[in-house]
Amino acid sequence: ISTGLQRTNVSNNALLNFSGVFSIASAVNVTSLSGFRVICSKQGEFAFLVSTTGAVMFRAYENGTTNYVDITSPVGSIVTGNNYLIEVKADGTNSRTGYRLYINGVEQTRSYGGNIGDLTLGIVSGTNEFVIGYSVTMAWTMYGNISQLALWNYSTPQGVSDGVYNNGNFKLFSTW
């Protein structure tokens, strides 16, 4: 998916369940930080994005409500015009500390925000579409490029992250 208001909607499927242990990884190249830049989302469940401060952020919604927690990497982690492999890994504990963020295979220190202190019920899988490049909940879009989005129904071990990053395949953005 490239610059602009393009997005891809994927119909709901039982395999797109983000209520327990999972990992999401994507190659991104953000061209503007004038707004939140969404990599992927599922309305009422989560949004995985780059914030206006250049931080990678995972927003988890509490049981389909408007209550959420934000898990955020340091400000300035992402700079426009550069290629990155970014990942979020969930350990299934429903605690905000159970989400880890990675940039280019390196685990990031995290800060926490949101309008609740922590998840109590966690993300409960609903019937909304999985959307790449847009958040229906917040009307945020991606300006830049998303490539090689990958989803796992387990928290990938570091070796998987290292393999994806070190083999260089995610970096083949020459047509971006």
**What is the structure's pLDDT at 75?**
97
What counts of helices (H) and strands (E) characterise the chain? 1, 14
Q: Which amino acid is at 124?
A: V
How sure is the predictor about 5, in pLDDT bands with cuts at 50, 70 and 90?
low
- Residue-wise pLDDT for 146-174, tens only, equals 888 888 888 887 777 777 666 655 554 44
Edge-to-edge strand list for the sheet holding 46-50: 8-10, 130-132, 37-42, 46-50, 56-61, 68-72, 111-114
Greatest CA separation for the chain: 44
Average pLDDT, stretch 63-89? 91
Q: Rg (Cα) of the chain, in Å, rounded?
A: 15
Rounded Cα distance between 13 and 16, Å, is 5
Window from 32-41, 81-90, 117-126, 140-149 with minimum mean pLDDT: 117-126
Handedness of CA 40, 8, 130, 148 (dihedral sign): negative
- Residue-wise pLDDT for 95-111, tens only, equals 889 999 999 989 999 99
Which range has the top average pLDDT, 63-67, 75-79, 101-105? 75-79
